[in-house]
Structure 1
Amino acid sequence: MAKLLYKLGYWAADHVKTVLFSTLALFIALGAVVLGMGMNFNDDMSIPGTSAQNTIELLEEKFPEVGKAGAQIQIVFKAPEGKTLLDSDVQGNIASLIKDVEKLDGIEAVYLPEMLQNYNEDQTIAYAMAIYDVPSKEVTFDQVDELRALLPATSDEGIQTELYSSETEVYPFEVHMKTEILGIIAAFLILFLTFGSLRLAGMPIFTAVIGLLIGIFCILIATNFTSIAAVCLSLAGMLGLAVGIDYALFIVSRFRQEYEKGYSIKQSIAIANGTAGTAVVFAGITVIIALVGLAIPQIPFLSIMGYSAALTVLFSIIVAIVVVPALLNVLGHKITPPVDRKKTTAEKVANRIKLSGKFMQGWAKALNKMPALFVIIGVLLLSVISIPFFDMKLGLPDDSFYEEGTDQRDSYDLLKEAYGEGYHASLVVVAEATEKDGEVLSKLEQLQADLMAMDHVDMITNVIPKESGEMAVITLNPTSGPNDDETIELVHDIRNAEMDGMKLNVTGMTAMNIDISEKLGDALPVFASTIIGLAFIIFMVIFRSILVPLKAVLGFVLSLGATLGFITWVVQDGNFYEVFGYATTSPILSFLPIITVGILFGLAMDYEVFLVSRMREEFTHSGDARKAVLAGIRDSGGVVTAAGLIMIAVFTGFMMTPDPMIKIIGMALTFGVLFDAFIVRMMIVPAIMLLMGKAAWYMPKWLEKILPNIDIEGESIMKELEKEKKQS
């Protein structure tokens, strides 16, 4: 691998125009396809095989009339202060709005509040129902926007007017670029402080954006052929940008190191590509394996999420090992550090350490003096932060998680004020006759009474019996909210209820979300153990050791526990949640733990590869385990620190977005990198390796013989270069 990438680096440096024009052509071609085909996101998060999904399929097969109804969007009204919705002037304004709504394309019917009789107790809040002539998934955002454009007719008269639907998407997914741009600016400043050059600070960001956009274009094209949720774009964006910058940073940093040793620009490029580039490839492969591993639980939307993010990481790797070497040759001496060619290599290295490695030298000395103390402090700190994780509850965000003043939150709060928490936790109960020639119709009255007698049931809002009598659909509202324990308990109670000749199934958005959370919770241990086991094998091959991979994965378990523990402590337990921009406390996003395991594990192993590969390189040359650890911290510690800070800057940009789903993912990755890069990789890992000494690199001879030699340190390259020097 190292020799291949060494040759690729030379080729890219010699064929700059070919590389850059090919990249530009691919970029333009994919952009043209996106413009021609457009995009078609689908936010369906159903999971085949769950009870709620099986019930939906049952209705589609045996009671299709229920699902054929057109999309329903509620137009919610709240009377001006001191008035009710029954006042004549208020009714006149509402009636005028409804007439305009009826004229819109796609509207089949509109039902006024007096027809639905849905006024709250003091008659200040109610809603009209706009019925479309197509199902929910076929209503376009343009149609919703046309409806929304009419609302000022009543809101300008002091009547608060909002749109709401539990089935139809009334608010399109938004990309909030301002916060992401702030993250990129922070990354640029970190790179500038690292290299002291504006050109070098901008190049990793430029190449990362190229790789990211190519990946994003591919995802947008794929939305026309498969079901991809809009959140996949944000996840792919934050990950592709972060790793793209880091991978370019590692190669550029190694290039400058090799140039300082006296190699020419092209030689330095090739060596950097063969050494740091090899580490980039294997670090990237680890991230891709973790992301593709999201398919292990066999949850469609989660699998697509992993594939989408893996695609952007793949393009980030390709750009790093092909485009970055070409650009390094273009910039040439403009980005190389000043080097006195008369000095020996040892003098150059010593000078570099003196100028730029003082902090890392000091950190290495501190670790060398008290390694056991640093291990104890790091392990205890992360263990304490992990404690709230054991009480973590999973759920999916609803509109109550948006900030006050947003359209989503205002409509949610209006309906909650009028009808209680349970309105947003509506459950669809499907009663099905279990006996041959059995029927439900004659038992319907008793069934409703039995349901109302259950704990946490507020009211039954709708009953639809099938004409043939063997099935009925009952809609009811719990007394509690969609993510409350009482609602979860009620769903299970209804499903487990024993009814005379009937089976009760429960579906609807609330039941679907409960099933998704439970399914994801059950899948987490299997997924985590599979990914960690696979990575252990890969690292054993890379580092030719048993204890180094074991230490790597155990360190990850610590950082993962601390990450999920901290998120639980803030978001679920409500400690300082306002500081992080959350409008309210909430359960943890149901697919966050699995996503965090996949992504954070890949990123953690990135830092492990770049830090420990330098240690392995030094140990191979000197045989001194302690010297190898100190060299790894001295030479790679600064780059790993910069890379970690860049990751944190990029993820913080996403953490600052108003969308609660993106916010919590960004927060988990921000603190995950903080804990793993700075406590695990820069403190615990080197301290443990100092304590283990040569034992860290132990590998049974029989095992070493059967494992392939990856040569991630580029030892074969350096031997060839030494031979060439001697011959010349």
Structure 2
Amino acid sequence: MATFLYKLGRFAFRRRGFVALIWVALLAVAGVGAATASPPANDSFSIPGTEAQKAFDLLEQRFPGGNADGATARVVFRAPSGEKMTDPDNKAVVTKTVADLKASSPQVASVADPYQARAVSKDGSTAYILTSYKVNSMELKDPAKDGLKEAGEKAEKSGLKVQIGGDALQEMPETGSTEIIGIAISAVVLAITFGSLVAAGLPLLTALIGVGIGIASITALATTLGLSTTTSTLAMMIGLAVGIDYALFIVSRYRAELAEGRDREEAAGRAVGTAGSAVVFAGLTVVIALVGLAVVNIPMLTKMGFAAAGTVVIAVLIAISLIPAVLGFAGKRVFGRKARRRLEERLAAGPDASAEEKPNMGTRWARFVLRRPLMVLLVAVLGLGAAAVPAVSLELGLPDDGSQPVSSQKRQAYDAISDGFGPGYNGPLMVVVDAKGSDDAKGAAEQVRKTITRLDGVAGVSPATFNKAGDTATLTVISKYKPSSIDTENLVGDIRDEASGFKADTGAEVLVTGQTGMNIDISQKLNDALVPYLVLVVGLAFLLLMVVFRSVLVPLKAALGFLLSVVAALGAVVAVFQWGWLADLFGVEETGPIMSMMPIFMIGVVFGLAMDYEVFLVTRMREAYVHGERPGQAVVTGFRHGARVVTAAAVIMISVFAGFIGSSESMIKMIGFGLATAVLFDAFVVRMAIVPAVLALLGKAAWWLPRWLDRALPNVDVEGEGLRKQLEAPPVAQQRDSDPDAELTRV
């Protein structure tokens, strides 16, 4: 591996114009493909294997042309003080709005007149129009959304207070400004790390090229592969993150090779052969984590994972080919002026002076940990353990309009319906009665209705509505509780518990669905998939890291450390977003269950980044150990060369993710906080404290591998030992030209 990448690095450096032209051409081709491709279809959201999805599929068969899973909108009217919605003038406004909504778009399936549908509150202060659409919210076109907004605006001019809720106006949150802020912070951190604007710009430039090719390819292939615009979200986030990290690792190693006195082509080859090997295997761990999302069996999540994995592959290829090519163009400007001057003086002074190096912060910290490994390990583990305690109370769910900011129109509509009718009206349950196997379909549906009515937590049940064949009925069940509450989840469980009795007594099958039922099933499916996903991802990564490090204990330590940091981050998320600790500081207006997708999403993203840091940091330690250093000294060497780079990479990622905490969307805010916290814990507590402490305690045992396993595992030579033996290694003084600063001035 290292030998092949060494040759690739030297080739890319020599033929830098040709290599750069290839990547620019790929970007142009992908851009043209994206520009000329037909618009991608929206995802038909489905959750295979759930009862809610089974009910939706049944309704599509038995109610042709129905809209069981279609988008809905609630146009909520509140009368001015002293008036009622039943007053003639107000009633006329609502009736006109009903007509406007019916004519607003061909995608409208039905508009319920509140005066006929009993959607006027008992005190007459509130009424709402329920508008149903033929397609789900992802497939709803802009004219339909605009028509809904215009109808509400016209009604509000009459003096009524009008808000629109529901999922019909669901839109992907705009995050462009936060991405720009993240990139700006990344540029500052890189400039401080390298002390050179050119060196700082290289990772940003190559990362943007990689993300551009990845996103353009996704757009170009969207129609062919059935991808939607949502699949590019995760791809952009991960592609930008790893693209910067991988370039940062290789540029840093290149500078280190130059500092040892090697000429620029040789330095590029060695940087790609060593740091590039670490990048390849770090990229493989990220790909494993993202492709592993297929275990959840949610098509949209699977597509997002595969698309992001493709972007990571592009980032790896760019790191090992385009980076050395661009380094060839950078010339001596890869160092800042002061660094160039110091390096020229060292090279001019001879090999002994060149070998001297003052201890940096990484060196001093590593030596501190080596002196007190047990104390550092206990403090770090106890600290993460304390942060993880709230995770025991983790409650999963999907956010609804009740979690929106109080100032938002959706939240105001939600609160108005809760005040006027009851919280359950914001998310009614749909019960489907499949009476095809029953002798008395109407009797079976009535028995189901009566039984559900008697259950605790039920505010009301509508009469059964049958299809034309008379063998399938739907009932609307109103809960007494909020749609996203545990009480409503328990009610769904109670209805499903009664279903077996209905089947035995009447021969009818009873299924619970609707948006609320679907949300509950999604949460349960994600919860059930969490352990298999962890086993798959951590297990495969353990095997991969065992090949990389030629050790059993180092990969085990890496996996356990990652799990500890993720659980601690989940504990922090629960404390803030579920318990409300420091909620005002982070702008959390409404506490509640944690988004059900959060744990798996965070595991996938953070695992990839954590293994990046692990591979880069520990590979340098392994390299020093293989080259003859004592275990403790190898830890110091790894930190001397890697701590600064890993710290910079972690700060960049934390800044990017933390930018999303300012989002008004609670879901985006939660993701940003969780990812930023997880990277903070993993990079600075696990990798910087627990890793050196454990390696110090283990000593030589850390690198132990049974002989039979050593023979069985392929030797990929990540640390470059085989490469070092193949290369002729003349003294540093002979590598330099007669001019001591020739390596820096040669372009």
- 1:183 alignment counterpart: 182
User: CA contact under 8 A between 1:16 and 1:329: conserved in structure 2?
Assistant: yes
Superposition map of 1:327-406 within 5 A: 327-336=326-335, 337-338=339-340, 339-340=343-344, 341-351=347-357, 354=358, 357-406=359-408
TM-score by length of 1: 0.93
The Cα of 1:625 is off from its aligned counterpart by 0.9
Alignment of 1:259-278 (within 5 A): 259-278=258-277
SS of the counterpart of 1:113? coil
Q: Which residue of 1 aligns with 2:26?
A: 26
For residue 291 of structure 1, what is the aligned residue in structure 2?
290
CA spacing shift, 1:446–1:290, aligned 2, 3 Å: closer
Identity %: 40
Q: Aligned partners of 2:296, 2:650: CA distance in 1, in Å? A: 29
Unaligned regions of 5+ residues in structure 2, if any?
A: 736-747
Partner of 1:156 in structure 2?
Answer: 157
Structure 2 match to 1:119:
120
The residue aligned with 2:710 is 704
Partners of 1:573 and 1:57 lie apart in 2 by 38
Q: Secondary structure at the match of 1:722?
A: coil
Cα drift, residue 63 of structure 1: 4.2
How far 1:342 sits from its partner (Å)? 1.9
Residue of structure 1 in register with 2:74 after alignment:
74
Give the corresponding residue for 2:742: none
Task: Identify the residue that residue 14 of structure 1 maps to in structure 2.
Answer: 14
- Distance in 1 (CA, whole Å) between partners of 2:291 and 2:310 is 10
Alpha-carbon contact 1:422-1:478 (below 8 Å) kept: yes
Q: 1:482 to 1:691 in 2, by over 3 A?
A: same
Q: Distance in 1 between matches of 2:103 and 2:515?
A: 30
Cα RMSD of the aligned pairs, angstroms, is: 2.4
What is the aligned partner in structure 1 of residue 519 from structure 2? 513
Q: Distance in 2 between matches of 1:723 and 1:264?
A: 13
**Contact 1:179/1:653, CA 8 A, preserved across alignment:** yes
The 3-state SS of whatever aligns with 1:116 is: coil
Q: Any unmatched runs of 5+ in structure 1?
A: none
Aligned to 1:618: 624
**Distance in 1 (alpha carbons) for counterparts of 2:301 and 2:377:** 36
The question of whether the paired residues in 1 share the 8 Å contact of 2:156 and 2:162 is answered with yes
- List aligned pairs for 1:555-634, cutoff 5 A: 555-634=561-640
Residue by residue, what CA displacement relative to the aligned partner does 1:252-301 show, whole Å, maximum 9, x if unpaired? 11111111111122221121111111111110111111111111233322
Q: What is the Cα deviation at residue 675 of structure 1?
A: 0.6
SS across alignment from 1:512 = helix
**1:682 match:** 688
Which deviates the most, 48-57 or 148-157? 148-157
Contact persistence 2:15–2:325 (CA under 8 A)? yes
Alpha-carbon distance in 1 for matches of 2:436, 2:86: 47
* 2-structure distance, mates of 1:102, 1:57: 26
1:469-508 alignment runs, 5 A limit = 469-497=470-498, 498-499=501-502, 500-501=505-506, 502-508=508-514
Tell me the amino acid that sits aligned with residue 215 of structure 2.
I
Code of the residue aligned with 1:180 in structure 2: it is E
User: 1:28, 1:546 → 2: CA distance?
Assistant: 45
Give SS of 2:440's match. Answer: coil
- Deviation of 1:645 after TM superposition, in Å, equals 0.8
- What amino acid does structure 2 have at the position aligned with 1:196? G
Alpha-carbon separation, structure 2, partners of 1:422 and 1:636: 55
Do the aligned residues in 1 keep the contact of 2:282 with 2:615 (CA within 8 Å)? yes
Amino acid paired to 1:665: I
Q: State the one-letter code of the partner of 1:148.
A: K
Q: d(CA) in 1 for partners of 2:131 and 2:709? A: 69
Q: Secondary structure at the match of 2:75?
A: strand
TM-score (norm 2): 0.91
CA-to-aligned-CA distance 1:692-713 (integer Å, 9 cap, x gap):
1111111122221221111111
- Cα 1:174–1:134, aligned 2, differ >3 Å: closer, same or farther? closer
Contact 1:234 1:662 in 2 (8 A): no
Shift of 1:722: 3.4
2:85 maps to 85
Letter in 2 for 1:194: T
Q: C-alpha distance in 1, partners of 2:288/2:88?
A: 65
**Structure 1 equivalent of residue 744 of structure 2:** none
Kept in 1, the 8 Å contact 2:59–2:68? The answer is no
The answer to whether the 8 Å contact 1:439/1:470 transfers is no
- Tell me the amino acid that sits aligned with residue 163 of structure 2: E
Structure 1 residues 324 and 462, CA gap change in structure 2 (3 angstroms): farther
Provide the C-alpha distance between the structure 1 equivalents of 2:162 and 2:244, rounded to a whole number of angstroms.
45
Does structure 1 retain, via aligned residues, the 8 Å contact 2:67–2:109? no
Structure 1 counterpart of 2:745: none
User: Secondary structure at the residue paired with 2:382?
Assistant: helix
Contact 1:652/1:666 (8 A) holds in 2: yes
**In the TM superposition, what is the alpha-carbon distance from 1:201 to its structure 2 partner?**
1.8
Secondary structure of residue in 2 paired with 1:328: helix
Q: Does the 8 A contact of 2:137 with 2:169 survive in 1?
A: no
Contact 2:13 2:265 in 1 (8 A): yes
Cα distance change on mapping 1:332 and 1:528 into 2, 3 Å = same
Between stretches 249-258 and 7-16, larger displacement belongs to: 7-16
Quote the offset at 1:200 in angstroms.
1.8
Following superposition, the deviation at residue 725 of structure 1 comes to 6.0
Match of 2:443 in 1: 442
What is the DSSP-based 3-state SS (H/G/I as helix, E as strand, rest coil) of the residue aligned with 2:551?
Answer: coil
Of 235-244 and 467-476, the range deviating more from structure 2: 467-476
Cα distance change, pair 431–75 in 1 and its aligned pair in 2 (3 A): same
Does the Cα contact within 8 Å between 2:56 and 2:69 map onto a contact in 1? no
Letter in 1 for 2:412: D
Which residue is 2:54 aligned to?
Answer: 54
The alignment covers a number of residue pairs equal to 721
The alpha-carbon deviation at position 546 of structure 1 amounts to 1.2
Distance 1:361 1:511, change over 3 A: same
Deviations 1:46-76 (A, max 9, x none): 3211111112222223444654898654322
